[in-house]
Structures are given as structure tokens and as C-alpha cells.
Amino acid sequence: MSRPDYLLFDKNTTSVIYGMQTKAVQRMLDFDYCCRRAIPSVGAMIDPGKSGTEKVFWGKKEIFIPVYPDVKTALQKHPDIDVMINFASFRSAYDTTMEGLNEPKLRTIVVIAEGIPERLARHLREVAVKKNKIIIGPATVGGIAAGAFKVANTGGTIESIIESKLHRPGSVGFVSKSGGMSNEAYNIIALNTDGLYEGIAIGGDAYPGSSLLEHLLRFEANPAIKMLVSLGEVGGEEEWKIVEAVKTGKIKKPLVMWVTGTSIKYMPRGIQFGHAGARADATRETAEAKNAALKEAGVVVPESFDDYDKAIKQTYEKLVAKGVIKPAPEVEPPVIPMDYAEAVARNMVRKPTSFTCTISDDSKDELLYAGHKISKVIGENYSIGETIGLLWFKERLPKWAAEFMEIVIKLCADHGPAVSGAHNTIVTARAGRDLMSAVASGMLTIGPRFGGAVAGAALMFKDAQDRGLSADAFIAELKKKNIKIQGIGHRIKSLKNPDMRVVLLKDYAARNFPGTRLLNYALEVEKLTTAKKDTLILNVDGCIGVLSVDMMYGLGWSEERIQQVVDGGGLNGMFLLGRTIGMIGHYMDQSRQKAELYRHPWDDILYDLPAGE
């Protein structure tokens, strides 16, 4: 798509954005949408060394902008792109702009970074001039072609843009150094004329990539622009070149201009005033000298900035009276949906949440466990049991209860390699899988037959005691239903050969618990079952289960709250948590040994297949 030299941007211009400035891209696309552009003004983005896509809104719809690792690739894929907006930092802006200058299809490069060394900036400019390209910047917000193309963050919010009528073209070309003041100037132009056609901020550095005059000459050549407006600045010779261009007839269109910095003579010597380039080294470079020379050359120069608006208005009205300008019609822009984040910030929307969390909070300054700051948890040396209490039960447990939890965890930590959890972990580790897979494989064996009887036992015994069943009646009821009592029975341990773990638990409870109601009940049941067979003892799962309920009684929790814990099966967590320690150990053990793949021996398997044909 070829455009005349004077036209950098039109409604079909597309650009590549160097740097993942998604916000700026969204602002450009919102502007596009307001202007009813047919295609987005951003064709591609560059994330050095990476590729992919970036999701942005096009009105209400989400679209993808492709992301490329470098300028060359982006331009190969998008041959229509002729503008690059370079967000690279001052450190890499030179190299990346050179990358752009070497692309034959790019015509315009906007350099946003502030603080590029002057020597490098001068170099960039000379290369651009040689290659007949235009650099806008460095240290600029960019520019805008009203109703057609907006560079990055130019113009501010979409509300400001519409208020300054930038969503449709007017008749005025504007150029200044300052990006901040260009926003104000678009407002002034909107208030006093039919609006902006194109506005450029060349940036505040001493050596901008393109000059005020170069842009004014483009505006002069553009038949759609009828009037020129500019803001100059103290320091530099640039405005004198404009004086020359007006005198020699290179600029014929009416130009309203004001050079700022008239107050510098009242300031102490050496003050840095606004921009890097704003420093008058000679009388010629003062704002007064330049304003006077411009005026003398025939430029419309107000008495002060305070009359800038009037000067623009009068010049515009003369052009309308002469019939040079036919005021541009007003256009109603489509409404852009507000971003959700912004609507939230402005208290304009609410939405129901999908999740609720009542135990921990990472959204505040400091991590909280059930309202306890992590600095307190560590500072006051909360035990593991107390920490578990915070996250499982939302309260700091008293010492006796916290210690009980820790004893359980220690007792359950491991039970040798032969039990199903450890076995699975070992087999999975030997199959070459990672820690998480091996431990998960072990964990998945925990259930009613292995380790998971804690919750079941608590549930059964508590239910029976709550219903006032005698130990006899309880056993009878289950026998009738043909249900095994959870938490009763061991493979080898018996009354005479007790399980040390159970002994320790009972001993701890006797010494520390306020009461052991459910344990006492379970022991009555045990008396009857062991009478039938001496291995039908209260096993470790059962003991943990009933003592957990006794712990909750001792904590003085409501019946409802205790039942909730028991029904939820959460008590199995104690076994699960404890045994994870052992399973991690088995994984480490196998990986230290570099144990090879395990294959079960054939002779250990009975093959008993149906006889085939």
C-alpha cells in the first residue's frame, strides 16, 4: 500500500510494536475501534527471542496479535506494516531502532525511550535521513492521525481522545516537542477549530530524529491540512529554520506558533527547564528572539500562551470565511466497553465470586494463616501441630492437642517398604518417574483397607456411642449387616503382643487429654472382640480415629462442628500427611540406589487363563 511521502499514517496503516506493551496496544485498538477502522492498527508485536500470541480486545471481541522474536521475522510475515513503535529501553533503543532502519518496508519508526545518548540519537537520525525514513522521538509519546492511527499512548484515555475529537479528522496539523503539552494542544485545537488532522510530538531531546520543520513541511504538502499549529521551545536553532521556511515560501499555509520558555531570563542560571533540549546558549536561542523572528516572518504569534487559543481561533475562522476550510462534520464514535479492571477501580461493577477461601490469604501485604501473620507464626515459633491447627481447623490449638497431632504424624510417618503405599512408591520410583508421581502413586493406595480406617473408625464408634448402643449391641448390629468394624483387628498384633504405637497413643491421651470418652467405648468393644480372637484389637487407625474425636471433645467444640469433621473424612489427613514423609523417604532411598525397573517374577504369579481354542 503506497502512501505519499507526506502521509505517515492513514486508516489502513499497520504497525509493529517492539516490546510487550499490551496496554499501549489495547489503547491503540480502542482508538481504532472508535474510528471504525476496518483492521487493527497493530499487526504484530516483538518480544526479543520469543514467539507466540498476545490476546487483546477489538471492541467486545478478543483477538490475537502475533508475537515475533525480531523485526525481520515480523516484517516477513506482515509485509503491509510500515510503522514500528519502539518501546525498547534507552539501553537497547539504538540497536533495535537500527534493526528497524534496515527493514526496507518500514517508513516510520517511533522511539519512545527517554535518555538515549545524544551521539547515538544523532547517528540514528543520519541513518534515517540517508534511507529516506522518518524517526519520531526519542523521548516521545508519539503522535496521532485523527480518525486513522494513534501511536501508542498518545492522547491519553479514550474519553480525552473523544473529547478532543481525535476520532475523526479535522483540518489542523500540529507539531511540538512536548508530549504532555501535545495532549493539551489537541484540546485547544478541538475547542477552537474543527479539530486535528495530524499531531506529532518530536520529543524533548536536543537531537530529535525528525524536526518541527520536517513535520510542518509534510503538513504543508498534505492537501487535507489547511492550517498549521506548533509549539516551539527555548534553546536550539529549530525555530529559525521555520522562520526561513516561511520567508522563502516553503511554508505557505497559515501557521500559529508560540515558543515557550520566555520566563527563563528570570530564572537562576543553569536551571534545567522542562526538556533536555530546553537551554538557551545564545540570544538567538531565547524564546523572545524566536517569537519575534517568527512574527516578523508572518507567522501568527500571540502575545503570550494565554492568547494562543484566540490566535488559533481567529486564524481558523478566517480560513472558514475564505472557504478554504469546510468544517469537518461531527461523528458519533461507537462506545468502547469499559475494561473490567477499570470498572472495578471505579466501583461500577460487582460480580459473585466463584471460590471462597476461609483459611489463608495471599492477597494482603503478608501471608495469613487463619488470620495469623506468617511473621507471627515464625516469630512465635508455632509448632507443626499448631500450624496444622490453623489451616485445618482455623484456630491455634492448645499445646496438648497440637502435640497429639504431631505424635500421630510421627507414628504414621512410615511402616516399612512392604505396605502398599511404600510399595507403590518404590515401584513407581524404580520405573524412573519423578518424586511427585511416585508419592502420588503411593498415596492413591490409602483407603479403607490401608491407612484410611482412621476416619471410618471415628465415624462408626462415634455413631454407636451417640446412639447409646452398648458395646454388645454395636457388635451385634454390625454382624447382622455383615460389616467389619473399622479400626479393629491386626495381622499379627494381639493383646499379649500389643502394637507399641497404640500403647504410646493411649498413654499420651491418659496423661494429657481432658477426657477419653470415645476411646473408653472403643476399648469396651475391643474387650468383646478380643475375647473371640486375640488379634481383634483396637489397631492404630482405630486408636487415632477415636482419640481425634476425644481431642475435639476436649477442645470444647460443638457437636455439629465435630460431626462435620468426622463426616468429611478429614481425619484421614493425619495418616496421609504423616505417611507422605515416609513415601518421600522411600523415593529418595530408591533414587539414591539408582534402583532399576522392578519387574514382578513370573513364578510369583499364578497364570490361570480360560482354555482357548
Partner 1 sequence: MAQRGIREYHGKKMLARHLDAYLEDSIGYQGKIVLVDKDTNWNQMLKENSWLKTDKLVAKPDQLFGKRGKHGLVLVNKSFEETRSWINERMGKKQTVNGIEGTLTHFIIEPCIAHEVEYYVAIKSAAAGDTIYFSLEGGINVEENWDKVISIPVPILEGIDAVNIAAALPDSLAEKKKLVAMFLKGLYKLFAELNFAYLEINPFAISGNRIIPLDLVAKLDDTAEYLCARQWGEDIEFPAAFGQNLSPEEIKIRELDALSGASLKLTLLNPDGMIWNMVAGGGASVIYADTVCDLGYSKELAMYGEYSGNPSTSLTYEYAKVVLDLMTRKKDPQGRPKTLILGGGIANFTDVAKTFTGIIKALHEFGDRLKSVNARIFVRRGGPNYQEGLANLKAAAEKIGVPIELHGPEYHMTRVVSDALKA
Residue pair 523/531 in contact (Cβ under 8 Å)? The answer is no
CB of 91 to partner 1, least distance (A): 6
Q: Which is nearer to partner 1, 181 or 519 (CB)?
A: 181
Residue 180 binding partner 1, by CB under 8 A: yes
Which residue reads 490453623 in cell numbers? 390
**DSSP H helices in 380-470:** 384-388, 399-412, 420-430, 435-443, 453-466
Q: For residue 37, give the nearest of 183, 168, 219 by alpha carbon.
A: 168
CB of 519 to partner 1, least distance (A): 60
CA torsion 257→259→260→266, rounded to 10°? Answer: -140
Nearer to partner 1, 131 or 484 (CB): 131
Stretch that binds partner 1, among 69-77, 257-265, 364-372, 379-387 (CB under 8 A): 257-265
244 is a contact residue toward partner 1 (CB under 8 A): no
Q: Tell the burial category of 428 from Cβ atoms under 10 Å away from its Cβ (0-12, 13-18, 19+).
A: buried
Residue nearer to partner 1 on the CB measure, 170 or 545: 170
- Answer whether 201's CB lies under 8 Å from 208's CB: no
> Binding string, 348-367, against partner 1, x = CB under 8 A?
--------------------
Is residue 467 within the footprint of partner 1 (CB under 8 A)?
no
| Residue from the set 55, 60, 61, 269 that interacts with partner 1 by CB under 8 A | 269
Stretch that binds partner 1, among 28-36, 59-67, 148-156, 249-257 (CB under 8 A): 148-156
The helix (run of H) or strand (run of E) holding residue 475 is: helix 471-481
Q: Is 287 in the site for partner 1 (CB under 8 A)?
A: yes
CB closer to partner 1, 154 vs 222: 154
- Choose between 23 and 527: whose C-beta lies nearer to partner 1: 23
Is 286 near partner 1 (CB under 8 A)?
Answer: no
Helices (H), 322-362: 340-345
What is the pairing mode between strands 360-361 and 368-369? antiparallel
Nearer to partner 1, 127 or 469 (CB): 127
| Bridging pattern class, strands 372-373 and 368-369 | antiparallel
Nearest to 387 by CA among 375, 404, 370, 400: 370
Provide, rounded to whole angstroms, the least separation between the CB of residue 557 and partner 1: 46
CA dist 517 and 515 (Å) reads 6
Note the helical H segments in 78-211: 93-101, 118-130, 158-163, 179-192
Should residue 126 be labelled a site residue for partner 1 when binding is judged by CB under 8 A?
Answer: yes
Told to check if 156 binds partner 1 by CB under 8 A, we report yes
Binds partner 1 (CB under 8 A): choice among 7, 20, 98, 127: 127
Least distance from partner 1 to the Cβ atom of residue 289, Å:
14
Q: Is 26 in the site for partner 1 (CB under 8 A)?
A: no
Assess 336 for contact with partner 1 (CB under 8 A).
no
Site map (CB under 8 A) of partner 1, residues 128-147, x = contact: --x----------x------
Would you call 275 a catalytic residue per the annotation?
A: yes
Binding flag, residue 214, partner 1 (CB under 8 A): no
Residue type, 406: E
The rounded distance, in Å, linking the Cα atoms of 15 and 32 is 12
Q: Pick the catalytic residue: 78, 167, 215, 275?
A: 275
Residues of span 70-109 touching partner 1 by CB under 8 A: 90-91
Please give, one letter per residue, the 3-state secondary structure of 200-234: EECCCCCCCCCCHHHHHHHHHHCCCCCEEEEEEEC
Q: Which is nearer to partner 1, 261 or 489 (CB)?
A: 261
Helices 399-412, 540-554: crossing angle, 10 deg rounding:
170
Q: At what angle do helices 471-481 and 517-532 cross, to 10 degrees?
A: 60
Can you tell me which of 49, 223, 268, 468 binds partner 1, judged by CB under 8 A? 268
Helices (H) and strands (E) in the chain, counts: 23, 16
> By C-beta, is 234 or 401 nearer to partner 1?
234
Q: Please classify residue 603 by burial: count the beta carbons closer than 10 Å to its beta carbon, then call 0-12 exposed, 13-18 middle and 19+ buried.
A: exposed
What residue type is 362 in one-letter code?
A: D
- Considering only 53, 76, 102, 304, the residue that binds partner 1 (CB under 8 A) is 304
In the list 206, 320, 523, 528, the residue contacting partner 1 (rule: CB under 8 A) is 206
| Closest to partner 1 by CB, 14 or 192 | 192
Q: Identify which of residues 181 and 454 has a Cβ nearer to partner 1 in the complex.
A: 181
- The least distance separating partner 1 from the CB of residue 257, rounded to whole angstroms, comes to 14
Distances in whole angstroms, Cα of residue 410 to Cα of each of 132, 264, 291, 404, 578 = 77, 78, 86, 10, 6
Binds partner 1 by CB under 8 A, chosen from 10, 47, 70, 163: 163
31 binds partner 1 (CB under 8 A): no
- What track of x and - describes contact with partner 1 for positions 184 through 203 (by CB under 8 A)? x--xx--x------------
Nearer to partner 1, 15 or 183 (CB): 183
Binding of partner 1 at residue 275 (CB under 8 A)? yes
What is the arrangement of strands in the sheet containing 61-68, beginning at the earlier edge strand?
A: 52-58, 61-68, 42-46, 15-18, 83-86, 108-111, 134-136
Q: Does 462 bind partner 1 (CB under 8 A)?
A: no
Would you give the distance in Å from CA 311 to the centre of its chain?
A: 47
Is residue 508 close enough to count as binding partner 1 by CB under 8 A? no
Q: Are 313 and 193 in contact (CB under 8 A)?
A: yes
Q: How many residues bind partner 1 (CB under 8 A)?
A: 62
State in Å, rounded, how far the first CA of the chain is from the last one: 76
Min dist CB 194 to partner 1, Å, is 17
Residues catalogued as catalytic? 275
- Tell me which residues touch partner 1 (CB under 8 A): 90-91, 115-119, 122-123, 125-127, 130, 141, 153, 155-157, 159-160, 163-164, 176-181, 183-184, 187-188, 191, 204-207, 260-263, 266-279, 287, 303-306, 308-309
